[in-house]
Amino acid sequence: MGTTQAAVEEESGVVRSRKPPKTVHTLSENPLLADSTASLSESNEDSLNWSPSINQFRNAAFWTELVETTRSKLVQQFDEQLQQGLSELITKANTESGNLLADSEYMNDKRPAVEKTSSKHLREKVYRRRDSVLTELFRISHIRTVLHIFLAVLFLFSTNTLFNDLLQNDKQVYAYHLDFFRSAFAGFTQVVQCWLMMKIATILIPYLGFMAWFTTRPFPRTPVLFDWLYLTAYISYQIGFILLPLKFITSYHLGAASRAVVVFEQVRMVLKSHAFVRTCIGEGISYLKAPDQHSSRGDTSASQMNYPPIRWHPHFSSYLYFLFAPVLVYRESYPRTQNIRWSYVATNLLLTWGCVLLIYYVLARSFFVEFVNFGSTHEYGFREHILDLTINSLNGGLVMFGVFFASLHSWFNAFAEMLRFGDRLFYKDWWNATTYSGFYRSWNVVVHDWLHSYIYNDIQRLFPRLQRTFVVGTVIILSAVVHEYILSVALGFCYPVLFAFYVILGYPLFCIRASSRPFNVMLWISQFVGWGEMISLYTMEWYARKNCPPVLDSWLNFFVPQSWICRPAVSSV
């Protein structure tokens, strides 16, 4: 009976005591794990049809592989987003901020001094890698056209001079050019010998003298007789370094260009040696005032002998690099470039030579021709001088551009590239200056840095209550004296035109603080007129001394202006 009923129920498909079988989902059918399975399927092609069971799903190796796959994909996605963001940032920097001239810090080369002082005007030089202003501007096609205009003007000047000499068929023209360069560079072999002697003295004496002072100085922190003896020796060395080359120049009767090379190198080495000694003495005194903060020499007898502990000393290699680098403020290290672009060096040297030719053409075709017979054939009065000044102002402006581009841009950049010197801010945008003070600070940054670091700052340290205008006046006078000294030695006479322009006219204009665009126009006019007037007056004095007999037969004739006295001889009937 029971068996029959069970059979009937089984035939009817109704089984009350049996539960329906559980459905086991595969990994791909589980909606919660579908995404993870897809990721795993992409990384392993062999597992596309793999469907683990519950026991396999619980396997630790499976979880490890799943987490590792997810992590690698997240890292890859993050890396792609990071690379994309950096690329966009670099592109934006190159397009919007690639020009360093747009950076407000590009021409900021000073920072407040670290030392504690009562003066608020002490600032120190900061060096960092940057190109010259014109190098940055020449990357703009419109500005680069200005350089092309200069090359075109140089070509036209050269062509005009060449055709003029050929068509005239006058041998005196060739003789004039040849005699000019022969007389200008007379005694150049002796110049090389003098330069070598000055260079060897500059390399050895300042460095060895400082090391002797620093390593043998007694311990007292205040100046002692030992310091005064070394100071006297240092001053004697600088005086001898100035007098001996002058004796050399007068003994060998060098030409004007040869004398200029000697005196330029003399002044440059004097400034560099003083920068080295002054900077290193400041560093050395800071160690002498705080000996306990530094390690000793490693000799137990050093403290018993009252010698200061020494950790710092200037490296000879740093000093040697400083002597050749286009910089006048001493540092133990400077920012450097990675390689040398010899094509860039050759280009700048060629531009330097082109500027020298342009300057010679302007001087020979305008100033020399105008004043070659000064004092010998006709009277030259105020009326003639005013007429010449209006013409020579433009020529003076060309000479100004040539001197600036040849020396402060091309020459300095060529040597900076050869020495891998990184900071090439040799000048600033002086053409945009709206005050004379801004112009003087921007025209020649190399010399201005030396004057600011070793003259202006030191006067402020010694006399902190001194008025700033007086300190600035002292710096301007010293700069004018050095410039006039260079011209006097090179030309062979003292005619302080540049000194008068610097001090009598320049200093009052320097104190004017008005700043406006019209003042920039006035500054340009004054520079053109000033350069034209200075070159005219120096050329007149040069030919007056050639065409007229000397006023005095003694050395005082060096200081007597012959152009004021020289007059053409009147023949008697």
Kindly report, residue by residue over 223-251, the tens digit of the pLDDT. 677 788 889 999 999 999 999 999 999 88
Q: Mean of the pLDDT values across residues 284-301? A: 54
| Nearest alpha-carbon partner for 271 in 63, 448, 45 | 448
Q: Which phi and psi angles does 130 have, rounded to 5°?
A: -165, 150
- What whole-number distance in Å separates Cα of residue 116 and Cα of residue 134? 37
Specify whether 346 is located in the same domain as 485.
yes
Kindly state whether residues 302 and 261 are assigned to the same domain: yes
pLDDT-derived band of residue 217, with 50, 70 and 90 as boundaries? confident
Domain boundary pick from 324, 356, 388: 324
Residues forming a β-bridge with 130? 423
In a domain, 262, yes or no: yes
Say yes or no: 246 and 363 in one domain. Answer: no
- The arithmetic mean of pLDDT across residues 33-58, rounded, is 48
Q: Where in the sequence is the domain holding 523, given as residue range(s)? A: 335-564
Do residues 436 and 368 share a domain?
A: yes
- Asked if residue 195 has pLDDT above 60, the reply is yes
Quote the percentage of the chain above a pLDDT of 70: 71
Q: What is the pLDDT of residues 74-109, one digit of tens each?
A: 667 766 766 766 666 555 545 444 445 445 567 777
pLDDT band at 463 (very low <50, low <70, confident <90, very high): confident
Residues 320 and 355 in one domain: no
Cβ atoms of residues 161 and 361 within 8 Å: yes
Q: How many domains does the chain have?
A: 2
Please check whether residues 295 and 342 belong to one and the same domain. no
Q: Which of 121, 313, 385, 483 is catalytic?
A: 483
Radius of gyration of the chain (CA): 39
Q: What is the pLDDT of residue 50?
A: 45
Confidence of residue 313 (pLDDT cuts 50, 70, 90): confident
Q: β-strands 123-125, 110-112: how paired?
A: antiparallel
pTM to 2 decimal places: 0.75
**Can you tell me the mean pLDDT for 291-306?**
43
- The mean pLDDT value of the chain amounts to 78
What is the per-residue pLDDT for 450? 94
Residue 189 burial (CB count, 10 A): 11
What is the Cα–Cα distance from 210 to 318, expressed in whole angstroms? 14
200, 208 contact by CB (below 8 A) = no
The stretches of 452-568 forming alpha helices (DSSP H) are 457-462, 468-491, 497-500, 507-510, 517-547
- In this structure, the answer to whether residues 258 and 351 fall within a common structural domain is no
Q: Where are the alpha helices (DSSP H) in 298-381?
A: 301-304, 316-324, 342-362, 369-371
Do 244 and 320 have their domain in common?
yes
**Of the residues 324, 344, 379, the one at which a domain ends:** 324
Of the residues 324, 347, 364, the one at which a domain ends: 324
Q: Is 483 an annotated catalytic residue?
A: yes
Quick check: is 48 in a domain?
no
Can you list the pairs that 289-294 forms with residues at least 24 positions away whose Cβ atoms lie under 8 Å?
Answer: 289/221, 291/219
Confidence category of residue 383, pLDDT binned at 50, 70, 90? confident
Predicted pLDDT of residue 173: 58
User: In which element (H, E) is residue 385 found?
Assistant: helix 382-403
Query: Is 514 within 8 Å of 438 (Cβ atoms)?
Result: no
Is position 11 within any domain? no
307 and 398 inside one domain: no
The contacts of residue 430 (CB under 8 Å, 6+ apart) are 438, 439, 442, 443
For residues 289 and 49, the model is more confident at: 289
pLDDT higher for 181 or 413? 413
Does 350 share its domain with 226?
no
* Residue, of 188 and 30, whose pLDDT is higher: 188
86 bridge partner residues: none
Together in a domain, 217 and 348: no
Q: Is residue 208 part of a domain?
A: yes
Return the residue matching tokens 């040398």: 340
Beta strands in 249-392 (DSSP E): none
Its sign, for the CA torsion 369, 371, 372, 377, is positive
Tokens for 157?
A: 């000047």
How large is the average pLDDT for residues 274-293? 78
Q: From CA 375, how far away is CA 548, in angstroms rounded?
A: 7
Task: Examine the pLDDT at 158 and tell me if it is beyond 80.
Answer: no
Residue 58 pLDDT: 54
Spatial separation of the C-alpha atoms in residues 215 and 231, rounded to whole Å: 15
Residues 474 and 548 in one domain: yes
Identify the burial level of 148 via C-beta atoms within 10 angstroms of its C-beta, where 0-12 means exposed, 13-18 middle and 19 or more buried.
exposed
* Residue at 56 is within a domain: no
Question: Does 160 reside within a domain?
Answer: no
Alpha carbons 450 and 445: distance in angstroms, whole number: 9
What is the reported pLDDT for 30? 47
